[in-house]
Amino acid sequence: MKVAVLGSGQLARMMAMASKDLDIEVCFMAMEGEGTESVEGHGEIHVISAGTPAEALFEQLGKPDVITVEKEDVDTDLLRALQPFCQVHPNPDFIDITRHRNKEKRWLNSIGLATAQFEYCDDEASLREAVAKLGLPAFVKSCEQGYDGKNQWLLKAAGDVDQHLAAITRQPCVVEKAVNFSREISIIGIRDRSGKIAVYPAAENHHWQGTLLCSFAPAQNISPALQQQAHDAIEKVLQEGDYVGVVAMECFVTDDGLLVNELAPRVHNSGHWSMEGCDIDQFSAHLLAICGRFDGALGEVRDTAMINLLGVPAPAQFANAENWVVHMYDKAIRPRRKVGHMNLVHDSRTDIRAVVCTQLQEIYTDDNLPIEEIQTEYQE
């Protein structure tokens, strides 16, 4: 079976690596100007010109059985044009919803899932009206192209509106009321072509300057009620979105339960722990699901921590370190860029936090690392 991946970054790379044990051939579609260093040597790379007819592209790709994506920022009209020729998962309509914050939040609310209170704004008047309605502090986030802390602004005082006004009003945004939450978790769900669903245990996530720094899975001390709420929520997303493949749901844990922060229609950074922490990792699960071969079983789950390598090379001290597995993406080092990650499988849920904090301080010298937050073992 052949799968073509639209995109050529590290997520496409890891899908290709997982495919080797599944008897699945993977190739890549890169738009003109898109970097391909992460996938070189892992399958055929096809550089796509805008306006290429869908049938010609399908032939160029070698008539794949399935087309999938590694990111939201893709040409969904192209995906729709390819649907008469082969399976396309996830469906382009869902991608259109989830890559636009206003559409995504309204869709989540329409299926009964709670989000932070929000308002849409696309000019100065609507921005000021939204801030007056929601109050401060508040976050302003661009509807599109907002990830890893980019195109996001925290408004603490009235003067912050004036300070960021020019940047904010250049693009449609949502204004979100600041949420009082105890921690952030993410849930990875899988649905196959027959409607079979499986859900990974929730991961506890810690961010640094807007970018995911580390995750612990399964998240510790989550009550059965919260676990069930998370499972029900991701199942509703999968079913209502007619979704096939892996989807990620990031949430805030509050005194009133979960608030959904955002969705990602793809394999996700906060699921990288599964590469060593689960018998069936998220990349294998995605490929099996879109190819109609997923049996719903994820296998054994092990206590795992994941550290992102952000703008730093592979740490030499971990090359042969016991229990640590380092994954690099063959990407040029740039400040804050995700160039790799490390997974630790540990037999002590108590000690794993201390080990991760020690290693973070060896990898990064920044005094602003959220070490105290990471050290805290949350209680529901």
Cα 100 to Cα 73, 76, 171, 234, 332, distances in angstroms: 10, 13, 12, 19, 29
Model confidence at 310, pLDDT cuts 50, 70, 90, reads very high
Cα–Cα distance between 257 and 180 in angstroms, integer?
Answer: 11
Cα–Cα distance between 80 and 88 in angstroms, integer?
Answer: 8
Cα–Cα distance between 371 and 366 in angstroms, integer?
Answer: 11
In this structure, is residue 100 part of a structural domain?
no
Least confident of 49-53, 97-101, 322-326, 346-350: 346-350
Residues 307 and 326 occupy one common structural domain: yes
Residues 225 and 242 occupy one common structural domain: yes
Domain boundary among 88, 108, 127: 88
Residues 191 and 170 occupy one common structural domain: no
Residue numbers in the known binding site for ATP are 101, 141, 176-179, 184, 207, 261-262
Helix axes 10-19, 282-290, angle to 10 degrees: 70
Cα–Cα distance between 20 and 294 in angstroms, integer?
Answer: 16
In this structure, is residue 188 part of a structural domain?
yes
How many C-beta atoms lie closer than 10 Å to residue 227's C-beta? 17
Residues 18 and 57 occupy one common structural domain: yes
Q: In what order do the strands lie in the sheet with 87-88?
A: 45-48, 25-31, 2-6, 66-69, 87-88
- Region 101-130 average pLDDT: 97
Model confidence at 321, pLDDT cuts 50, 70, 90, reads confident
Domain count, the chain: 3
Residue numbers in the known binding site are 101, 141, 176-179, 184, 207, 261-262
Q: What percent of the chain has pLDDT over 90?
A: 87
Residues 347 and 251 occupy one common structural domain: yes
Residues 161 and 200 occupy one common structural domain: no
Q: Is the pLDDT of residue 251 over 90?
A: yes
Residues 229 and 367 occupy one common structural domain: yes
Domain boundary among 137, 157, 177: 177
Which CATH number covers residue 312? 3.30.470.20
Joined together, the tokens standing for residue 256 give: 């009133």
Model confidence at 145, pLDDT cuts 50, 70, 90, reads confident
Give the residues across from 119 on adjacent strands.
175
Joined together, the tokens standing for residue 218 give: 């399964």
Residues 166 and 187 occupy one common structural domain: no
User: In this structure, which amino acid lies at residue 369?
Assistant: L
Question: In a 10 Å sphere around its CB, with 0-12 CB exposed, 13-18 middle and 19+ buried, how is residue 70 labelled?
Answer: buried
Cβ partners under 8 Å of residue 348, min gap 6 = 303
Domain boundary among 177, 199, 218: 177
What is the extent of the structural domain holding 72? 2-88
Q: Is the pLDDT of residue 68 over 90?
A: yes
Which CATH number covers residue 56? 3.40.50.20
Joined together, the tokens standing for residue 278 give: 């689960």
Least confident of 115-119, 159-163, 258-262, 276-280: 159-163
